[in-house]
Amino acid sequence: MSDKIRVALIGAGGMANSVHYPSLAEFDDVEMVGLCDLIEEKLNATADRFGIERRYTDYKKMIEETAPQAVYVLMPPHHLHDIVVWCLRRKLHVFIEKPPGVHAEQTRQFAHLAEQNGCLTMVAFNRRFIPVLRYCRDRVRAEGGWIHQAVACFYKDYRAGGPYYDGASDVLTCDAIHAVDALRFMVGAEAVKVASSVRKLTRHFDTSFNALIEFDTGAVGVLLTSWMVGGRVHTFEMHGFGISAFCDADREAVIHKDDQLRVEELTPWGVAGSEERHKYYGFWHENRHFIDSIKANQEPETCFPDAVRTMELVERIYREAW
């Protein structure tokens, strides 16, 4: 009997081809048993690239014929619901990209169904799995007692862009949510107070989201995001007593300690041991975590119940805006 985890794949888009399927293809303990996509050209190109024999345009037929243990559902947020529900009701483990639905209630229902059916689930909040970010967090926690202040910045020049998926999802829920989830990850706590600003900045949809968040440990988190700036910058700060970490997972991270600046300088690829972006930016590691969790029968770190709390914090940032 094979000890490989049998995985069926739904979706042959950009994230599937650039980070998730390349990661799975490197795992000796994974068998990609089938691929489904409605666009046959994309379906065949992706299946050829990763050596997947069984190809489908009907995901139900694929799952019934390939009998997987887990399913990757890599779809836009407004296309997730029916597919994820169908898979969970058949007791299949499920991996999805962020965001986990268009609003928190969908995520809550996913979590409820997963618990009912004994399914292990994961949302691809890859920032948590970036090796250099994780190293910095663990270092500050270990040497500074706890993280009492954290900052997550996420900026993009999106001036020429329109509403996400023609308005099916919003910028904060669909994309800047990475920075929201990173704050929860860095401080390891849940929000108790939120004060926020949400702005449209010359557009007919919201493009700027800033918040001051108090967590139940007493830590303070600062969210700074705007899609109307000079270019993409995504950085993180973590501060403990006598130690700070400043992390840019695309460039470098530095540790300041005991009133000495740059006592340690790190590169993302140096910590990850690879210059391939899907490895040093956490995608390989999140996929590895999902497969290992299935093998150990343990809930993944970014499971649906945990994702509910990130989605609820996103909604609270909207609700508490002045």
**Mean pLDDT computed over every residue of the chain:** 98
In the beta sheet, which residues pair with residue 223?
Answer: 152, 211
**Rounded to 5, what percent of the chain is helix, strand, coil?**
40, 30, 30
Q: pTM of the predicted model, to two decimals?
A: 0.97
User: In this structure, which amino acid lies at residue 272?
Assistant: A
DSSP one-letter code for 99: S
In the beta sheet, which residues pair with residue 182?
Answer: none
Inter-residue contact 178 to 98 (CB < 8 Å) = yes
Find the distance separating the first CA and the last CA of the chain, reported in whole Å. 59
∠ CA 48-52-53, rounded to 5°? 100
Inter-residue contact 282 to 125 (CB < 8 Å) = no
Neighbours of 162 (CB within 10 A): 11
Q: Tell me what pLDDT residue 85 has.
A: 98
140 — phi, psi (to 5°)? -65, -40
Inter-residue contact 17 to 46 (CB < 8 Å) = yes
pLDDT over 90 for what percent of the chain? 99
Range 210-231 average pLDDT: 98
Q: Is 132 helix (H, G, I), strand (E, B) or coil?
A: helix
Predicted confidence band of residue 244 (pLDDT cuts 50, 70, 90): very high
pLDDT tens-digit readout, 133-152: 999 999 999 999 999 999 99
Inter-residue contact 108 to 48 (CB < 8 Å) = no
Predicted confidence band of residue 106 (pLDDT cuts 50, 70, 90): very high
pLDDT tens-digit readout, 161-193: 999 999 999 999 999 999 999 999 999 999 999
133, exposed or middle or buried, with CB in 10 Å at 0-12, 13-18, 19+? buried
Predicted confidence band of residue 1 (pLDDT cuts 50, 70, 90): very low
pLDDT at 129 over 60: yes
pLDDT tens-digit readout, 52-95: 999 999 999 999 999 999 999 999 999 999 999 999 999 999 99
pLDDT over 70 for what percent of the chain? 99
User: Which residues 6+ apart lie within 8 Å of 52 measured at CB?
Assistant: 9, 32, 33, 34, 35, 46
The whole-angstrom distance between residue 94's C-alpha and the CA centroid of its chain comes to 14
* Structural domains present in the chain: 5-126 (3.40.50.720), 130-273+301-319 (3.30.360.10)
Indicate the length of the chain as a whole number: 322
Range 195-212 average pLDDT: 97
Q: Is 131 helix (H, G, I), strand (E, B) or coil?
A: helix
Q: Tell me what pLDDT residue 2 has.
A: 64
| CA proximity to 152, closest of 194, 189, 186 | 186
pLDDT at 233 over 80: yes
